[in-house]
Structure 1
């Protein structure tokens, strides 16, 4: 479906109806508490939203547990589950404009990006796992005469998925689609900043044929609802995308409860290495700008560290600085906007403080660095040069459109500087030499390495990190395996 250019998105936003409750057991349910929802578009209030507490988390897990232990979903033929997921994808596709509007309003993503990227990703993910659901098989291992050994993959049980706000539907889809395809039931906790769109998706899933209790969605605070899910003895798997600090909490919750399996996709401080033999320096520079300014830099894989060889540093940085004009932040409901606001005022204030600390520690502001004087938390695209390795702009994840530039003299220094981080989610290298591409890629400690591109991929390849970027994988067949348990059955029949 092409982007609907004729839609008046602001007029549709004015008629927006918030979800009437949390989606539990196949229906919306009221909660004891409410929360005022504010859009980063202009800081205005969208309305009051039902807000979950610990008791709602318990109710959602109970529904998911009942649906898994006694309902039809885990017992359906995998082909039938796949058909329902494909219907789910078709219905989401039919409501892309409504869901894109919710995403844009709740977290500030430009409407065209929400429609063309976020919703496309969710539709493709549901389709992919719908098609894959009945393609995974067990094993028969070698034995002696009179004995037979079977190795089967069985759905693991109840999955709690705690998802972030920066890609509220893409990343939720990466978790719920393989879990559902495997036969699990799911409780999703949305991020506090993006509580709207995933509720509608769960409603659509029920329309597609998901039995009651198979997909539940809660809005709520992390320290209460997130913790309740992490500690819940009836949750079998906890999958989380977010900060490393919160990931540590989930590991503790697991250790203190039922030792549930925990899958973590955490932060990043990804290096983007440009060597002097890059095949197209202008393309490398333009891509480097995109890698940090897309989605307002609010990506765990954002290319926030540009590591560029001294011979080409001036040329590359000058082009990135010139490109900042095309990334000027604007109204996310304007289809021409490329970069919207920061997700909320608190995040913007944190970023400005970190930026100030980094500049005070040494560095040159080449572009941006200030908030935009309009209603809402908007930040200029920012480029900082002359940074030392220990500078907080180099060391810490800002989750912002702030590029830290480091100049190196050779390949070895580039790899050493790239590896000087506690994170290991993604990296990139630009070179025309195939040997250099292979050699540097092998030396970089990261879950994904791009060569002469950035943020490219497909659902067929796994995504995840190493070091403080976590463990476990989203996407691909590997993600489907994360939501299953291996069972060995040994039969003596002779």
Structure 2
């Protein structure tokens, strides 16, 4: 395990952030102080908003939507705002990445790559704003004409997680805006800075006031309040399946708001003996270690052909041992710190469970002790059985469980042996085998001889307990619309009641 050199570059004192409602900044009466997970140093102070603040934000979003200054703009004009925002994001890329690193702990190079992806999301959404359309029916008879209109759903509540604070915001926000909706965002309490920076960027890009609002604070107060709020028309939540269920319950007990949910995953990567084993090993090590495994599409279950399993697991182990772990501001760092103390403990507890339940530890499995920060070595367990906790639970850390199969059917069965269905990957040189697996494994995203690739042009989302709905692409804009059917009769009415 290579631990990179120290090159600390955190601010001397924490930066204070307000919250953003109706085009204006407001000061918090109480503040939450965030300590960098890599530096053990306070970096931001974030407002702890109240229910009253949330109500004000929703009211501003409602007024902005009902007045139509955004919803009724031509798609071309909304596209211009989104395009200008993309340009501004490019200009402020280093600043956004800097604050993302400080609050999250991910490497600076990765954070910059995520801002590039965010820019692509805004550019894609700009095009989608111009392409969004309904449909017509000219087959209803000589005098009856039908139209299906696609209208923005209204006020959207957007709750984003701490693992990819800016990227997940931008995989949703520009598509929501492209549809004509207004938004109230609640970022994760520990990673709110970049969502707040977005407020000034959107305002400079020409977004009308009230269209984008940010309320910061705890999930129990602000998040729950958004799920229950009667004047929020749709809620988009990214996070755990457990909290997703609470969103469903809150929606059912309030206004039956539409929900978009991207939830947990326990994602398989299937490796056949005929694949390029060196490429596959690198992909496996990357897939479970990227973002320190704090990734909903992390490939945390390796399902490998028994005939090459020993050799392949050794290749993966050697790859994982070479991953450069350390200070996120060091350009050589590949993975940084675990984002929160709570998650750090969860991961270590699962490693202990794996050992206790009889899995064989091949690589990692320990803390990396440094003067500052929370680090865990990428970990590989073999001889894992389906009943083990590390096999079934989403760990959300760099912990890989390895299973073995003899036949294609057995590989598919192992891949589907989970309540989730978010993502999957298969490695083989046999295209027929690849298609067979792709069609049978239950997952919303699938990669063949690649991992975590693709762009904002294509939709993302999960099957089963991994969620509802789709984000990104044209489908991601349509997700935030509703259909209205209109019938127009061009002929004189034939009276039902005789005169």
Question: Scaled by the length of structure 2, what TM-score is found?
Answer: 0.95
Corresponding position of 2:424: 427
Is the Cα contact below 8 Å between 2:13 and 2:42 reproduced in 1?
A: no
Q: Which moved more, 1:328-337 or 1:220-229?
A: 328-337
Would you say 1:250 and 2:247 are equivalent positions?
yes
Q: Determine the C-alpha separation between the residues in 2 that align with 1:220 and 1:150.
A: 43
What's the offset of the Cα at 1:19? 4.6
Would you say 1:373 and 2:369 are equivalent positions?
yes
Is the Cα contact below 8 Å between 2:271 and 2:428 reproduced in 1?
A: yes
Q: Deviations over 1:429-464 (max 9, x none)?
A: 111111111111111011122111111112221111
What's the offset of the Cα at 1:20? 3.1
Would you say 1:170 and 2:204 are equivalent positions?
no
Corresponding position of 2:391: 394
- Equivalent residues in 2 for 1:14-93 (5 A)? 14=11, 18-93=15-90
Q: Determine the C-alpha separation between the residues in 1 that align with 2:142 and 2:440.
A: 48
What's the offset of the Cα at 1:281? 0.7
Q: Structure 1, unaligned stretches of length 5 or more?
A: 1-7
Corresponding position of 2:496: none
Q: Structure 2, unaligned stretches of length 5 or more?
A: 1-5, 492-499
Q: Which moved more, 1:323-332 or 1:268-277?
A: 323-332
What's the offset of the Cα at 1:158? 0.2
What's the offset of the Cα at 1:42? 2.1
Is the Cα contact below 8 Å between 1:22 and 1:30 reproduced in 2?
A: yes
Q: Deviations over 1:31-57 (max 9, x none)?
A: 222111111012222243222121111
Task: Give the 3-state SS of the residue equivalent to 1:159 in structure 2.
Answer: strand
Is the Cα contact below 8 Å between 1:345 and 1:376 reproduced in 2?
A: no
Q: Determine the C-alpha separation between the residues in 2 that align with 1:92 and 1:60.
A: 24
Would you say 1:210 and 2:207 are equivalent positions?
yes
- Equivalent residues in 2 for 1:174-193 (5 A)? 174-193=171-190
Task: Give the number of the structure whose alpha-carbon radius of gyration is greater.
Answer: 2
Task: Give the 3-state SS of the residue equivalent to 1:413 in structure 2.
Answer: helix
Q: Determine the C-alpha separation between the residues in 1 that align with 2:72 and 2:472.
A: 24
What's the offset of the Cα at 1:359? 1.4
Q: Determine the C-alpha separation between the residues in 2 that align with 1:479 and 1:425.
A: 16
Corresponding position of 1:284: 280
What's the offset of the Cα at 1:326? 2.6
Q: Deviations over 1:119-162 (max 9, x none)?
A: 01111001111122111222111222222211110111000010
Is the Cα contact below 8 Å between 1:241 and 1:264 reproduced in 2?
A: yes
Q: 2:336 aligns with which of 326, 334, 340?
A: 340
Q: 1:240 aligns with which of 218, 237, 240?
A: 237
Q: Deviations over 1:280-337 (max 9, x none)?
A: 1100001110001111011111010000011111221111111123313200111111
Task: Give the 3-state SS of the residue equivalent to 1:302 in structure 2.
Answer: coil
Would you say 1:128 and 2:98 are equivalent positions?
no
Corresponding position of 2:111: 114
Q: 1:138 aligns with which of 109, 134, 137?
A: 134
Q: Report the count of equivalent residues.
A: 484
Q: Deviations over 1:147-203 (max 9, x none)?
A: 221111011100001011111111111111111001000011101221111100121
Task: Give the 3-state SS of the residue equivalent to 1:74 in structure 2.
Answer: coil
Is the Cα contact below 8 Å between 1:235 and 1:260 reproduced in 2?
A: yes
What's the offset of the Cα at 1:406? 0.9
Would you say 1:451 and 2:452 are equivalent positions?
no
Runs of 4+ in 1 over 3 A off after TM superposition: 8-11
Q: Determine the C-alpha separation between the residues in 1 that align with 2:122 and 2:17.
A: 25
Q: Determine the C-alpha separation between the residues in 2 that align with 1:318 and 1:384.
A: 11
- Equivalent residues in 2 for 1:467-478 (5 A)? 467-478=464-475
What's the offset of the Cα at 1:346? 1.5
Q: Determine the C-alpha separation between the residues in 2 that align with 1:346 and 1:106.
A: 15
Q: Deviations over 1:243-280 (max 9, x none)?
A: 000000100110010000001110100000001111x1
Q: Deviations over 1:342-398 (max 9, x none)?
A: 111111111111211121011111111111111221101111111111111110000
Is the Cα contact below 8 Å between 2:14 and 2:45 reproduced in 1?
A: no
